[in-house]
Amino acid sequence: MSTTLSKLCEYETVFVVNSDLADDVVNGEVVDRVKGVVAKMSGEMLREDRWGKRKLSFEMKGAGRGNYVLFHYVGNVGIVEELERSLRNNEHVIRYVTTLNGDVSDIEAKKAEVEKMVRDRAAEKARLESERKEREEKMAERGMDDRGDRGDRGDRDSDRDIGIEDDRE
């Protein structure tokens, strides 16, 4: 590998880890190894986001669920090949995908941009959660369930409920 600096690029890698593994195994073996590859290749981690266990759209390697992890990082062009080689050789990784987000000229500016994006998303999530709680409280005050107050539609009354006797003997 050459020691000359090539242009820096911004990447995102999402990988799916077998959901049968304990969280400490996922953290220890898989995530720490990937962080080590990024550090070894002189990359800079911008953020790490763990999406948790989710259902896969189809079964892969006998697994119906997977533990999703997103890495957002900046590095030289060769970092992706090494990272994907490491993921491919790890028996716990079910699937991975890497996207190129563009060139980076200032790492510190990119870090600030990503931190602002994370803060904005957290604020939006908190706002939506508070709106949801307000809606639930209003519905509870009105005595409605989550499907709304429909009342009686008229088609649910049976003869027994309205007092008509059955003459079919």
At 95, give phi and psi (nearest 5°): -155, 155
Q: What is the mean pLDDT of residues 23-47?
A: 84
Contact 48, 71 (CB under 8 A): yes
CB of 84 within 8 A of CB of 15?
A: no
- Size of the chain in residues: 169
Using only C-alpha atoms, what is the Rg of the chain? 26
pLDDT, one tens digit per residue, over 136-158 is 888 888 776 555 555 556 555 55
* 62: amino acid identity, one letter: G
Structure confidence at residue 167 (pLDDT): 58
d(CA 167, CA 169): 6
Average pLDDT taken over every residue of the chain: 80
Q: Which residue has the tokens 């000359």?
A: 4
Q: Is 136 left (phi over 0), alpha (psi -120 to 50) or beta?
A: alpha
pLDDT single digits (tens) 99-114: 998 888 777 888 888 8
3 pLDDT exceeds 50?
Answer: no
Q: What is the separation, in whole angstroms, between the first and last Cα of the chain?
A: 94
pLDDT for the residue numbered 4: 42
pLDDT at 121: 87
> What whole-number distance in Å separates Cα of residue 148 and Cα of residue 61?
43
Strand partners for 52: 68
Q: What is the pLDDT of residues 38-63, one digit of tens each?
A: 999 888 888 888 888 888 887 777 77
Name the more confident of 164 and 52. 52
pLDDT single digits (tens) 67-92: 899 999 998 888 999 999 999 998 88
Q: Which two tokens stand for residue 2?
A: 């050459």
